[in-house]
């Protein structure tokens, strides 16, 4: 090889800012270490250190400053008292430190912690001290993982976990997490195709009045039955639809499908539909609800929209204006899953909800927590004072049902009196409840259970 070519190759292997091996060269060096140990598997660790706060520094003091910060951090890493390592620059804000004789997870984590602390110290620049923060993802080689690219991928996944968890700033690669990431990836494609091919279906769960045992309506719940992947639940596909921006199309389809189904029910029955927070940020929600009501001739006063407290997290003004508009159209708004997540009583007085649905975790707590009845009693009394009706979700046992009835809860919903079911089964449920609550005695509630 000519000297010039050699020089060029060398130049292209090194990072211009720091003189460290660049991404490609680092992968090559790691693979070379693995090959040296072969046929024995190499027990080693890769730590990816990511620096946060660089863009803020760039915006305040110019791009040159970022180069200086990175150079100083590279020097710190090179001087760190860590033996048998290869350091490289993975990308503009990450370093990779390959420890080719550390295979002990405890030691690996200790080293990561040490490097995070080292890189999180303020960096001098002129008269200033610039604040930065480092986080780390740690991955170990295994018997089967013996290549640099997979190791780097694992360290990247760990880095994501560490950045999501906030503290302590470093995390281990977890195979379960990798599997979850793969499933998520698969689901993104599945959900996009399912929206395209109309593979979603609505099922309906009945809810009843405690005082009369009468069927009051059905909550619509979305299902995805995939020919290959089987049943995928809404807790899995709704977040994907939200992230990929497909929620608007899915939501529009859902509301129209539910209205078209519910317009066939007797006129005293209500249809409850779940709206995800993301739907309030698409800008098309009101038009979609309007169009669905118009196309199907379903009266708005029979449409109950369920939202969760998370809906208010981003832009309360924007959400409140749409909720008010929906109420203006005649729809009712219910606060779903009450008691979970960001529970804050402030939501209760910020908007005139017509219904509050107590999350099923509270109902299940009746079986395990002696304080549960007092908490439920307080929620129900508070709602009553505010003129809000209360549904208990997830009732599975007669004992839970009796407790809630004695606490003066308004409505019950749960597997005990009806699981979510296809729309073709609803006529039978409606008829059965009608005949069972006709000429009812005092014990109407016991009849609800027959509907299962």
Binding site for ligand C2E (CB under 6 A): 205, 221-222, 233-235, 238, 254, 274-276, 306, 336-337, 360, 393-396, 414-415, 420
CB of 243 to ligand C2E, least distance (A): 13
Residues whose CB falls within 8 Å of the CB of residue 118, separated by 6 or more in sequence, listed in order: 76, 77, 80, 134
336 sits near Mg ion (criterion: CB under 5 A) = yes
In this structure, are residues 359 and 391 in contact, taking their beta carbons and an 8 Å threshold? Answer: no
Host H or E run for residue 47: strand 45-52
Among Mg ion, ligand C2E, none, partner that 33 touches (CB below 5 to 8 angstroms by kind): none
Among ligand C2E, Mg ion, none, partner that 208 touches (CB below 5 to 8 angstroms by kind): none
309 sits near Mg ion (criterion: CB under 5 A) = no
In this structure, are residues 100 and 85 in contact, taking their beta carbons and an 8 Å threshold? Answer: yes
256 sits near Mg ion (criterion: CB under 5 A) = no
CB of 62 to ligand C2E, least distance (A): 45
In this structure, are residues 95 and 74 in contact, taking their beta carbons and an 8 Å threshold? Answer: yes
Q: Which is nearer to Mg ion, 162 or 274 (CB)?
A: 274
Which one of residues 242, 288, 306, 436 is an interface residue with Mg ion (CB under 5 A)? Answer: 306
Binding mask 386-415 for Mg ion (x = CB under 5 A): -------x----------------------
Q: What is the three-class DSSP state of 89? A: strand
Host H or E run for residue 91: strand 85-91
337 sits near Mg ion (criterion: CB under 5 A) = yes
Among ligand C2E, Mg ion, none, partner that 309 touches (CB below 5 to 8 angstroms by kind): none
Among Mg ion, ligand C2E, none, partner that 61 touches (CB below 5 to 8 angstroms by kind): none
Q: How are beta strands 128-130 and 133-140 bridged, if at all?
A: unpaired
Give buried/exposed letters for 132-153 (b at 16+ CB in 10 A, else e): bebbbbbbbbeeebbebebbbb
Among Mg ion, ligand C2E, none, partner that 235 touches (CB below 5 to 8 angstroms by kind): ligand C2E
- Cis ω for the linkage preceding 175 (within 30 of 0): no
Q: Which is nearer to Mg ion, 146 or 276 (CB)?
A: 276
Give buried/exposed letters for 219-230 (b at 16+ CB in 10 A, else e): bbbbbbeeeeee
CB of 416 to ligand C2E, least distance (A): 6
Q: Which is nearer to ligand C2E, 144 or 198 (CB)?
A: 198
Among Mg ion, ligand C2E, none, partner that 253 touches (CB below 5 to 8 angstroms by kind): none
The residue among 285, 379, 387, 384 whose CA lies nearest residue 337 is 379
- Cis ω for the linkage preceding 39 (within 30 of 0): yes
15 sits near Mg ion (criterion: CB under 5 A) = no
CB of 199 to ligand C2E, least distance (A): 14
274 sits near Mg ion (criterion: CB under 5 A) = yes
Q: Is 368 exposed, middle or buried (0-12, 13-18, 19+ CB in 10 A)?
A: exposed
Residues in contact with Mg ion by the rule CB under 5 A:
274, 306, 336-337, 393
């Amino acid at each position: 090889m000519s000297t010039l070519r050699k020089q060029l190759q060398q130049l292209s292997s090194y990072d211009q800012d720091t003189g460290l091996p660049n991404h490609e060269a680092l992968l090559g060096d790691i693979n070379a270490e693995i090959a040296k140990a072969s046929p024995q598997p190499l027990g080693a660790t890769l730590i990816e250190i990511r620096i946060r706060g660089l863009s803020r520094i760039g915006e305040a003091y110019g791009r040159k400053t970022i180069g200086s910060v990175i150079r100083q951090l590279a020097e710190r890493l090179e001087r760190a008292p860590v033996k048998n390592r290869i350091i490289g620059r993975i990308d503009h804000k990450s370093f990779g430190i390959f420890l080719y004789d550390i295979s002990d997870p405890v030691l690996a984590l200790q080293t990561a912690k040490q490097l995070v602390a080292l890189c999180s110290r303020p960096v001098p620049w002129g008269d200033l001290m610039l604040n930065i923060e480092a986080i780390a993802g740690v991955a170990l080689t295994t018997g089967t993982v013996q290549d640099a690219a997979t190791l780097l991928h694992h360290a990247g996944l760990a880095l994501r976990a560490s950045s999501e968890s906030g503290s302590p700033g470093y995390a281990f690669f977890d195979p379960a997490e990798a599997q979850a990431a793969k499933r998520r990836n698969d689901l993104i494609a599945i959900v996009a195709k399912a929206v395209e091919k109309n593979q979603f279906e609505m099922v309906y769960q009945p809810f009843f009045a405690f005082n009369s045992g009468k069927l009051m309506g059905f909550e619509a719940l979305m299902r995805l039955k995939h020919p290959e992947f089987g049943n995928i639940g809404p807790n899995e596909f709704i977040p994907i639809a939200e992230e990929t921006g497909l929620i608007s199309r899915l939501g529009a389809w859902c509301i129209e499908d539910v209205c078209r189904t519910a317009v066939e029910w007797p006129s005293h029955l209500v249809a409850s539909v779940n709206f995800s927070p993301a739907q309030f940020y698409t800008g098309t929600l009101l038009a979609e609800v309007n169009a669905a009501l118009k196309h199907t001739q379903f009266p708005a006063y029979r449409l109950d929209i369920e939202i969760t407290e998370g809906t208010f997290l981003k832009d309360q003004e924007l959400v409140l204006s749409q909720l008010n508009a929906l109420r203006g159209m005649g729809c009712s708004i219910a606060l779903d899953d009450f008691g979970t997540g960001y529970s804050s009583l402030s939501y209760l007085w910020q908007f005139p909800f017509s219904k509050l649905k107590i999350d099923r975790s509270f109902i299940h707590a009746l079986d395990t927590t002696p304080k549960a009845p007092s908490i439920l009693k307080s929620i129900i009394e508070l709602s009553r004072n505010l003129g809000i009706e209360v549904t208990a979700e997830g009732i599975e046992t007669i004992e839970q049902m009796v407790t809630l009835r004695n606490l003066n809860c308004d409505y019950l919903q749960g597997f005990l009196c009806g699981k979510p079911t296809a729309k073709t089964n609803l006529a039978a449920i409606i008829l059965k409840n009608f005949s069972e609550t006709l000429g009812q005695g005092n014990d109407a509630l016991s009849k609800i259970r027959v509907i299962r």
